[in-house]
Structure 1
Amino acid sequence: MGQKRRRLALSCVACRRRKVKCDRTFPTCVRCQKGSINCDYVTYTSQQNTAFPTPSEESPQLERTGSVDSWAEEANEWHERSRQHENPRPQEDKSVPPAPAPVSRPPTRTLQELQERISSIETYVKVAGSRPVSSETHLRTRRVGAHEDSPDKDAPQNHDRALLRGKGFKTQYFGPSHAASLLLQFEELSFFTKDILQRLPTFKKTREIFKRHRRETRQAFVLPDSETLVSLIPDRPSTDARVQEYFETMETTYRVLHAPTFFQKYKGFWASSSDTSSDFLVQLLLVCACVNCIVPDGPTGFFGTNSVRRGTAIKWIEVCETWLDLQSQKHMTLEIYQVQVLLVIAKKFNCVKVKREWTVAGHLLRLAMSNGLHREPSYLSTSISVFDQEMRRRLWFTILELEVQASLDRGMGASLGPFDWDCLAPLNIHDEDFDQNTEKMPDPRPVTTFTRTSFLCLAQQHLPLRLEILSKINSIRAPLDTDSVIELDQRLRQILDALPRWTDPAAKAMSCDLSELLLYELLLLIHQPFAAQAKGQTRHFYSRVACRGAALTTLKKYKDMRPTSTLTFSGLRSDLLRASLALCHDIVLCTASTEDLMQDKNMPVTLIEQAVDIMEVRLRRLGQGFHAFWLTCSALALIQAKMWPAKPAEERAQETADRVVKLHDYMMEQQTPPTPLASGSGLEDAAMSTASTLMGLSGQPVPAQVVPELDPFAPMAGHFNVFSDTLFDFDMPDIWGMGGNAQLQ
């Protein structure tokens, strides 16, 4: 009697190993899909069934074995053991020759190998921010959370085909597709080229001559000198208040500066301003510009639609931008990178060139990538200090957060995906735990312990999910569907439930609220398209409830913040306007529906009124934001007319118009003539010799102009155009008659 023929295994390997029923869905069965298990099916290449895969002895997160021979060998062994286990016979048939013993095969992972792997992973985590370790150690480890198919063992690694030249922040990155990356594998050519250079003794001398001629023929630019920069810095009490506010709010979320290094230079500046470097003076001016409109002290009044505080901040920004434009883009330093990031933050908060925010953030991201900030420095270089490695990580993820937020506010997809960088997350440590002389980084603190970097460490964990949602929300060809929305909703809520509850008072300034606002904003965005459909209220009931909950939570967060944090968030984000309008739309749908789902009608209206008050305070401080203020006021009057029809809608509209006109009259009454600059300050010389952006600093008074009689609330012919130019240019000076537009004269 011959050996019993083996039946074809049609179920997946994982279900057969667990002895459960498989629905045999290709390429992934339902059970494996729910359990996030690698689903593999038997591939029959011949009648002998030589290719027979089997489940790996490793966890699903570990890489699969790519060798077909090893899979077939392990499959035969598995089949023999399973056949003996499932079909035991009480009496062995002696007539049947015993089956040949399975070929002994060493286990995939021995105990010693597993111990070495655990040790390497522990070393990888601890040394992530410390001294550069060998590339071999890093290549044996995998990034935590990366679900990707394992490459071939013999395939060239990406680290071996990338160039990162330079030291510190003076680096240039060239990816694997760059032509010169072949030199890393073509070592013979590299040695031969170096030998040729040694045979050209006149080459170095000729190079110096070229450099000298280039310096002589280059146009002479005069940077704003130190005296000019010092003259722009406010007095000591005002500067102290602004620096303190910046480090209590902005520097607990977006990490740009190293606090001990900054304050050491800050004390030296007040001791002797003449010995202070210009890069620190520019940093100090930008720090003051970021929060100049938030700090309660300072002058009041307006120059046209600009508040005096915003006008001062814009002057600082223009001087710093001119200084930055004339710096070398080839020899970058940490200080120049910090100025780059601070400049983007200061422009965003002070509403400087709002329509360019997305392109400016994208330019900053590309600049960072061109210098290799997106690559883990310990992978590619051994000449970058421990301090610079950590600062590169902080700056990279700060730039990523700024670019993602700019893309979300503009309605664009992100510029890169989650697999376009391998830079490790910054360490959750205090700034006082390391400095420029540190040789080995301390162990990172748990995420439940708050530091200034805790928010950034937490945000990067769900950054790939936010990028995925952002690409789906703004996708042109693959819009969101109901099933994907429910899945994304569950993933976002799981992250919200797992957020640490920091009790440190410093975390309550911005970090706690921003950690939740990032996720609630995405919840609102994924459900809003379905919640806004008036015809499908029953079908999209959950989306309506989720959208309303996210909007209410967002408005409550803003209500409970301290006043300075509220102004900071309203300047850096647009979720206050988005949540207010979404909640107003939901109330209108509820009033028109037979099912009244709004149990408490007064609470949402109260929150929207408080949101309008926040926008009005920002207008009085900054002079910008009429668009959001006017829209929210109009939406508030609409829902009040819908919910309480006792008062006619015409009266509600007139009350809204009176409130906007009252704010406009306040700005007109607070007009302040510009104060001429003191002569001999050196500022006019800098303006004449540098870019035209400094022309506004000459201090020439602007002649008074007659304000035309405008009635912006007059009835409009035809239908109301939501995207009219007037609406989106509501902040422009020609609307208020202060910009010198010839059409209004």
Structure 2
Amino acid sequence: MSNKSAESRDNSPDASLEKHASKKRKVLSCYACRNRKMKCDRVYPICGRCQKNGRADQCTYDRRLFDDLTVNADGHMESSGAASFAPPNHTLHGDPSAAISSDALSWKMRVQERRLETIERKLDRVSNIKGASLGVAPSHLDDFDAQAHEPIVQEEMMFRGRGFKTQFYGSTSPLSVITQFGELQAFTREAMMADTSMMRIRGDFKAFRNRRKETKKERERKVQGSDAEILDLVPEKSVVDAKVVLYFQAFETSYRILHEPTFWNEYRTFWEQRQSGEVAGSFATILVLIIALSKCLSANEANVFIGDSSADRESASDLLEACDAWLSRQSRKHLTLHFFQLQCLSLLAKRVNCLRLKQDWVTSGDLIRLAMASGMHRNSALIVGGRVSEFEKEMRRRLWVTMMELELQSSIDCGLQSSLCGLHFDSQPPANIPDEAFSTDLTQAPSNRPIEHFTSTSYLIVSLRSLPLRTHLMQLLNNPTTKLQYSDVLHYDAQLSSLISSLPSWDGPQATTASALLDLQLRQFLLILHRPYAKLASKNPHYSFSFTACVDAANGILTLYDELNNKGILSLNHFRNDVLRTAITLSQVVYHNSVFPPSSERTFAERTPPGNTPGSADAAARGSPFGYPFPPGSYLKIVQLPHQNFLATTLCTSAIAFIERARSLYEHKVMRLGTGYMEYWLISASIGILPSTTSGLPITSIASLTNNDDIRSRVRKAVDRTTALCFRVLAMQKDPGNSFASSLRSTIADASPSDMRTPISNVVVPTGNTPKGMSAEFPLPTLLPGAAGMAAALNEGSRSGVGPEGSWDGLQDMQIDMAGWSFPDFWAFDMGGDF
């Protein structure tokens, strides 16, 4: 500025008035930082420095700043300069007097509400201090800050294996729940040591699986994947007819892979041309995959086993190996509709038969990327020039949504991020029309039918509506850096409940699978979201809603599966893990909401000998039947129902009944497929640690040690349920004289009574109830009948033993106590060999 202009201003008659009328400059920093002469980040309502130093109640800003407020995307007020507080220039057609936008008003109201909440907390704190000075106890409820009392939810994940041969399961995987359930690990560690003869049974199963793997490797080397080999695998027409009808009933009312009229036209052509040898190998492979898909979809009273796996599942595995060999020979340069259909059918067949589940997430992700490389995630209208027919557009939409659903569910079950996270796709939803409404020569897209009218594509359309929410939740829950608040959980619960209640109600048997699948894929998130807080319901009644939500969701899931099983629909129970997730979740929630008797002490102790420390590997190996030390584990206390809390008692009782239902449902899956033994054992063990719903005696009293609720009874009941399955598998062998059955039968026959003594000797009895002549810690009578009784029956050759054909009778009496496993080592046992 020049001196002349300065002088002219000083000589102005209004100079003195102008100096006195100047406004005081606004203070941009909070007063607390300004008074301490420290740098302020100017975040409203509480700056970062005051928040970090515990001076949130002293953080206040110049009130004039709120008159022209600018709020950033996070809802905080930025004050890096005067311009930061200038009102946004929201105008209409250049008119500066136009009102500001509704978004700015909503943000401003939200900031004012947060200010009011802060002021109310300050006033409550002041009133509590005044009340304390007058002798009135302050109310903790008035000063309750939900964010300050948020529980710390630890990441749940599971690592298995060693070196580079490892397997990872994230937070949404049902198996990762067990990592935070140390009490279940303690129970299984004790139960698995009850009988050292089971080490030999473990060896029998492992040896059989190794032989089976070697046989499959030899067979794979012989399989060339030629068209002739595929044609040889197609059975006679009457058999294929039944399998195809079963497949369409089970899957093509939900996941859409095939176009039914087109398929039947090709099907008729296939049988007409089969004699001439001019049949395309692609359609023959589709038929083989359909047969593999349908192998275990129907109940089979005459089901037989080859080793530990059912004969139908083994047959499906052989068919899939041949189809994979044929697919590997096909070029990916010229993709066709059959190619994508084959990829989807192969993925679905493996999942339904529980085969190669470790590779399921990788395989489904590859399929999504293959579809994206073909542009199936984009709107087909972008392909101009008539290069894509209306029929092809509709099939692209159906296949794309089907692949997304398969990949998303695989990501949830494995606890890994989905390829859909952050993916932009604008492919149009499939049309709600039956297959008969369009054909390959269609020139104009048919009109949509209302969603209330069920068609074979209705599931995909309704499922697509909730896909963004499910993808978002899966991404949040499997991200270890995500810090969900309980308010967020309630928010997502409201969204999920709203979607469940808005699901259409379709009539007719064709809609049964689609309706159940829509409900299940939403309810699984209710269990995942509420479980960490449902465990805390006994400590904080604020989370009682989560306990109720878990039990209610479990009831809905199990009811659906009961209805499906009663109708003979087994597909969902085979390729989904809802039953396992429900059982483990309820078990953990019930245990943490039960109560411990006042005199309760640690009931189960670690089985590692005292000398087994990390620095004494030799002593650890000598004390362990495996030759290596047992890993450390949690102690287990026997709990009782919370009789003082009626709501908790009712929920716990209902949840225990639901777990029994889950065990029964999972048993059907194991006995049909011949896999999932490990998961069934975990469900049985989870029931063993829960309180009894029938006995009114305290669990830790002397009287209770002689009834069905004592430790030995719990261990034996859990072990017997699992081993009963093994003996049923032995009884249903296709070849009773095979090496697996003979070795297992010999193992049981060689079992001696000395092997049956349980190592459970650390049951702590309260001193006041100690019998005369016994110490406070006394070993229980430990002889458990099991394999020894089986051996006696074998030697006698009675009807309860082995019949003339080598099969077993009286299965309910054939019990054996498992032994020799610590909890982590049981994963290596894995009779099914799939997890």
TM-score bracket, shorter-length normalisation: 0.5 to 0.7
Q: Deviations over 1:242-279 (max 9, x none)?
A: 21221112111111111111122223334442443211
1:666 paired residue number: 728
Q: Deviations over 1:271-314 (max 9, x none)?
A: 44244321111111111211211223596321111111001101
**3-state SS of paired residue (2:418):** coil
1:84 paired residue number: none
| Equivalent AA in structure 2 for residue 280 of structure 1 | F
In structure 2, the CA distance between the partners of 1:232 and 1:313, relative to structure 1 (3 Å rule), is same
Counterpart-to-counterpart distance in 2, 1:713 and 1:660: 19
Quote how far apart the aligned CAs of 1:236 are. 3.4
| Equivalent AA in structure 2 for residue 466 of structure 1 | R
**3-state SS of paired residue (1:561):** helix
In structure 2, the CA distance between the partners of 1:245 and 1:641, relative to structure 1 (3 Å rule), is same
Q: 1:651 aligns with which of 678, 698, 713?
A: 713
1:386 paired residue number: 390
2:826 paired residue number: 726
Counterpart-to-counterpart distance in 2, 1:581 and 1:716: 24
Counterpart-to-counterpart distance in 2, 1:459 and 1:618: 26
Q: 1:445 aligns with which of 445, 449, 453?
A: 449
Structure showing greater relative contact order (alpha-carbon pairs closer than 8 Å, 6 or more residues apart): 2
Counterpart-to-counterpart distance in 2, 1:314 and 1:340: 16
2:417 paired residue number: 413
Quote how far apart the aligned CAs of 1:321 are. 0.5
Q: How does 1:313-392 map to 2 (within 5 A)?
A: 313-382=316-385, 383-392=387-396
| Equivalent AA in structure 2 for residue 305 of structure 1 | D
| Equivalent AA in structure 2 for residue 726 of structure 1 | F
Counterpart-to-counterpart distance in 2, 1:713 and 1:333: 64
**3-state SS of paired residue (1:706):** helix
**TM-score between the two structures when normalised by the length of structure 1:** 0.64
Q: 2:488 aligns with which of 477, 481, 484?
A: 484
2:94 paired residue number: 73
**3-state SS of paired residue (2:245):** helix
Counterpart-to-counterpart distance in 2, 1:587 and 1:546: 13
| Contact kept? 1:229, 1:281, Cα under 8 Å | yes
| Equivalent AA in structure 1 for residue 266 of structure 2 | K
Quote how far apart the aligned CAs of 1:223 are. 5.3
Counterpart-to-counterpart distance in 1, 2:470 and 2:547: 21
Question: Which shows bigger deviation, 277-286 or 584-593?
Answer: 584-593
| Contact kept? 1:299, 1:308, Cα under 8 Å | no
Quote how far apart the aligned CAs of 1:538 are. 1.9
Counterpart-to-counterpart distance in 1, 2:762 and 2:426: 54
| Contact kept? 2:421, 2:471, Cα under 8 Å | yes
1:27 aligns with 2:30: no
| Equivalent AA in structure 1 for residue 528 of structure 2 | L
State the aligned residue count.
Answer: 523
In structure 2, the CA distance between the partners of 1:395 and 1:23, relative to structure 1 (3 Å rule), is farther
1:625 paired residue number: 676
2:406 paired residue number: 402
| Contact kept? 1:429, 1:444, Cα under 8 Å | yes
| Contact kept? 1:365, 1:403, Cα under 8 Å | yes
Counterpart-to-counterpart distance in 2, 1:662 and 1:703: 17
In structure 2, the CA distance between the partners of 1:721 and 1:253, relative to structure 1 (3 Å rule), is farther
Quote how far apart the aligned CAs of 1:733 are. 6.3
2:260 paired residue number: 259
Counterpart-to-counterpart distance in 1, 2:759 and 2:321: 40
Quote how far apart the aligned CAs of 1:713 are. 11
1:706 paired residue number: 743
1:228 paired residue number: 229
Q: 1:613 aligns with which of 655, 658, 664?
A: 664
Question: Which shows bigger deviation, 356-365 or 289-298?
Answer: 289-298
**TM-score between the two structures when normalised by the length of structure 2:** 0.57
Question: Which shows bigger deviation, 319-328 or 613-622?
Answer: 613-622
**3-state SS of paired residue (2:650):** coil
In structure 2, the CA distance between the partners of 1:723 and 1:528, relative to structure 1 (3 Å rule), is farther
| Contact kept? 2:431, 2:448, Cα under 8 Å | yes
| Contact kept? 1:374, 1:422, Cα under 8 Å | yes
| Equivalent AA in structure 1 for residue 254 of structure 2 | T
1:595 aligns with 2:640: no
Counterpart-to-counterpart distance in 2, 1:396 and 1:519: 20
Q: Deviations over 1:666-690 (max 9, x none)?
A: 2123222499xxxxxxxxxxxxxxx
Quote how far apart the aligned CAs of 1:342 are. 0.6
2:89 paired residue number: 52
Unpaired runs of 5+ in structure 2? Answer: 1-65, 101-221, 596-641, 700-706, 749-754, 764-819
Question: Which shows bigger deviation, 583-592 or 636-645?
Answer: 636-645
1:462 aligns with 2:466: yes
| Contact kept? 2:90, 2:98, Cα under 8 Å | no
Counterpart-to-counterpart distance in 1, 2:87 and 2:495: 41
**3-state SS of paired residue (1:352):** coil
Quote how far apart the aligned CAs of 1:325 are. 0.4
Quote how far apart the aligned CAs of 1:74 are. 4.1
Quote how far apart the aligned CAs of 1:638 are. 3.0
Q: How does 1:565-580 map to 2 (within 5 A)?
A: 566-580=569-583
| Equivalent AA in structure 2 for residue 595 of structure 1 | N
1:515 paired residue number: 518
| Equivalent AA in structure 2 for residue 421 of structure 1 | F
Q: How does 1:289-304 map to 2 (within 5 A)?
A: 289-296=292-299, 300-304=303-307
Quote how far apart the aligned CAs of 1:24 are. 5.6
Quote how far apart the aligned CAs of 1:561 are. 1.7
1:585 paired residue number: 588
In structure 2, the CA distance between the partners of 1:405 and 1:270, relative to structure 1 (3 Å rule), is same
| Contact kept? 1:44, 1:52, Cα under 8 Å | no
Quote how far apart the aligned CAs of 1:462 are. 1.1
In structure 2, the CA distance between the partners of 1:667 and 1:541, relative to structure 1 (3 Å rule), is same
Counterpart-to-counterpart distance in 2, 1:525 and 1:490: 14
Counterpart-to-counterpart distance in 1, 2:571 and 2:646: 36
1:281 paired residue number: 284
Quote how far apart the aligned CAs of 1:639 are. 2.7
Q: 2:557 aligns with which of 554, 559, 562?
A: 554
**3-state SS of paired residue (2:297):** coil
Quote how far apart the aligned CAs of 1:617 are. 1.8
| Equivalent AA in structure 2 for residue 284 of structure 1 | L
Counterpart-to-counterpart distance in 1, 2:241 and 2:453: 28
In structure 2, the CA distance between the partners of 1:491 and 1:534, relative to structure 1 (3 Å rule), is closer
| Equivalent AA in structure 2 for residue 233 of structure 1 | V
| Contact kept? 1:306, 1:624, Cα under 8 Å | yes
Counterpart-to-counterpart distance in 1, 2:465 and 2:756: 47
| Contact kept? 1:373, 1:393, Cα under 8 Å | yes
Q: 2:430 aligns with which of 385, 408, 426?
A: 426
Quote how far apart the aligned CAs of 1:603 are. 4.8
| Contact kept? 1:52, 1:72, Cα under 8 Å | no
In structure 2, the CA distance between the partners of 1:729 and 1:378, relative to structure 1 (3 Å rule), is farther
| Contact kept? 1:591, 1:642, Cα under 8 Å | no
**3-state SS of paired residue (1:726):** helix
In structure 2, the CA distance between the partners of 1:442 and 1:298, relative to structure 1 (3 Å rule), is farther
In structure 2, the CA distance between the partners of 1:490 and 1:364, relative to structure 1 (3 Å rule), is same
| Contact kept? 1:45, 1:51, Cα under 8 Å | no
In structure 2, the CA distance between the partners of 1:492 and 1:713, relative to structure 1 (3 Å rule), is farther
| Contact kept? 1:53, 1:72, Cα under 8 Å | no
| Contact kept? 1:398, 1:456, Cα under 8 Å | yes
